[in-house]
Amino acid sequence: MSKGIAYESDRGCIIVAAALLDKQLEDSIRKHIKRFSVSKSLEKSLFDLSGPISNFSAKISICRSFGLIDEIAYKDLMILRKLRNSFAHEAEGASFTSASVRQKVKSMHFVQHCMKELEIDRYNYTEKPKEENKDDTDKKHHPKMLEEWKTLADGFLNYDKVMFCFAVDELEYHIKHYSNLGIPPPKTLSQGIKEIKKSKSQTAKD
């Protein structure tokens, strides 16, 4: 998992993740450009602040249009782009505890994949008794939410944030492999981790 972004603030995690994948897309484009003997000055002008592919959105579109990424990577990158934009400009709701953020994160292909493949222990929050829920209209003071905030303050990581960080690694690996060979990797990182764990478990039993 990308520990460097996992322990960033939620806003920092999303923004840095987008920057890492922006760099990966740029590397893929630059490698593709070199096949056509483009001058260094022209290549540089493409990525300058006023250049045609200077921003994240343009790089995503260019990479998809030229077959450097597939549709799976494209859709996940577009979700990340929207998250990055909202986190960069909104003071409220820029958190993995936000329902709308969780929904977007969980819609990412590689997040779903990591949730399926990786066995991560989760903290079980206690639900508020039904009888106490009747007169409680202030969601900010819901015990389950307060308990979640406390576990975060104690240094535990939000589950959706952890899965997002794993997914960033998966997405970066997927992009590298696809842009180089034109096909997805035969095995994802999380599948490899799962096989290693299974192999070690089997060895321990023997």
What pLDDT score was predicted for residue 31?
Answer: 95
CA angle in degrees (0–180, nearest 5) for 65-70-71: 90
Q: What kind of fold does domain 3-205 have according to CATH?
A: Four Helix Bundle (Hemerythrin (Met), subunit A) (1.20.120)
- Stated pTM of the model: 0.82
What pLDDT score was predicted for residue 195?
Answer: 84
User: Which sequence spans correspond to the domains of the chain?
Assistant: 3-205
What pLDDT score was predicted for residue 158?
Answer: 87
Residue 177 CA: distances (Å) to CA of 31, 185, 190, 201: 13, 6, 15, 29
For residue 136, what is the DSSP state?
A: -
Q: What is the mean pLDDT of each run of 10 residues along the chain (206 residues)?
A: 80 95 97 93 94 96 97 98 92 84 96 88 53 48 53 71 94 96 93 82 73
What pLDDT score was predicted for residue 137?
Answer: 46
What pLDDT score was predicted for residue 171?
Answer: 97
